[in-house]
Structure 1
Amino acid sequence: MKIRKAQPNEFEPIGKLLVEVYSSLEGFPNQNEQPDYYEMLLNIGEITNKPNTQLLVALSDKEEVMGAVVYFSDMSSYGSGGTATTMKKASGFRLLAVDPEFRGRGVGKGLSIACIKQARKDGNNEIIIHSTEFMKLAWSMYEKLGFKRSQDLDFIQKELPVYGFRLKL
C-alpha cells in the first residue's frame, strides 16, 4: 500500500468512493436528508483549494484507490461545527473512507497514521477528529492509536450528533 497526496485525476473516483461508503452506513443520513454533505463528498477535490488542506489517498500495488482521507494542518480550515476550528497548534482529519473491497488490510489505520505523522511534521501538539455512532466500528481503531473522546469537541450537524476525539502528540 502506498499513501500519498491525491492527484486531480483521482478526485472523481475518491468522491464516488466517499459517497458509496457514507451512504452505505446503516442509519446514516441519506442524500435526500443531507444533499449538501453528499455534494461535498462527490466533489471532494474542491476541498484541496482550502488552505492547509490535503487529500491523501491509499493505493494498491495496481494503483487502485483503496481509501482516502482529508488532512488539515490548521484547524481553521477543518470545516466542522463546534469548537474544533478554534483549536491552535492542532491538526485534524475527516472523511476517512476505505473501499469495502480493501477492508481489513490496514488501510484506515495507515491513512490515520499518515495524518498523525504529518501533524508531527507540521509541529502541532494534537490531532482532532470527529465521528458518529454510525461509524463506531472505527472508534476502536482510533482508540488503539491513542485517541481519547473529547466531549468539548462534540456538536450536532442537522440533528446528527458528532463526537470529537483528540490525540496529544
Structure 2
Amino acid sequence: MHPSKFTIRKPGAKEHGVIGALMVEVYSQLEGFPTPAEQPKYYEMLSNVGSLTENPHIHLLAAYSPEQVLAGCVLYIGDMQYYGSGGTATQVKDSSGFRLLAVAPDFRGQGIGGLLTRYCIERARKEKRQQLIIHSTKAMQVA
C-alpha cells in the first residue's frame, strides 16, 4: 500500500495502550538493543508512552491504514528543552526533535517510517524551528 493512503493523527487516550504495546514489541525485537529484563524502566516508559503527552510540548503521532489499523507511531517534541532524554539535546535552542519511531511488523517496507519522519520535518518547518533532531542509537541502524 502506498504511504499516501495512510493518515497521521494524534491518537486518543484510549489508543495509547495499543501504541505502547507496539513500541514495546518493536524495540524489544531490535538486535543489540537492551531487553525488557535489562532495562525495565525504559520498557515501562514505552508501554506508557501516552503519559508523556501530559507535557504540552510533546505529541504522540500515529499512522493509520485506511481501515484504521495502527501502522506506526512517533513521539514529536516541539521544543528540545522538553526532550526527556539524557545528553546535550535538551540544550539545543530553536529546535524540535523526534524519538521512539516504531512501525508495526505487518506494515514494514511500505514507507511508514519515512511518512512519519516527513510529517515531523514539516511540523518543525511550520513551527519555524532551525533544526529537527532525531534520537537514535547504534542498535537502531534503520533510523
Q: Which runs of 5+ in 2 are unaligned?
A: 1-5
Equivalent in the alignment of 2:95: 90
Q: CA deviation at 1:51?
A: 2.8
Higher relative contact order (CA 8 A, sep 6+): 2
Distance 1:34 1:131 in 2: 17
Query: RMSD of the TM alignment (CA)?
Result: 0.8
Aligned to 2:119: 114
> Could you tell me which of 3, 24, 27 is aligned with 2:8?
3
How many aligned residue pairs are there? 138
Q: In the alignment, residue 98 of structure 2 is paired with which amino acid?
A: F
Q: Percent identity?
A: 54
- Residue in structure 1 matched with residue 3 of structure 2 by the alignment: none
1:22 is aligned, of 27, 44, 64, to 27
Which amino acid in 1 is paired with 2:119?
A: A
Whether 1:41 aligns to 2:33 is: no
> Normalising by the residue count of structure 1, what TM-score does the alignment of the two structures yield?
0.80
**Higher strand proportion, which one?**
1
Task: Return the offset for 1:23.
Answer: 0.2
* Match among 97, 122, 128 for residue 123 of structure 1: 128
Distance in structure 2 (CA, Å) of the matches to 1:117 and 1:103: 22
Aligned mate of 2:60, from 22, 46, 55: 55
Is the Cα–Cα contact under 8 Å of residues 51 and 77 in structure 1 kept in the other structure?
Answer: no
Report matched runs for 1:59-74 at 5 Å.
Answer: 59-74=64-79
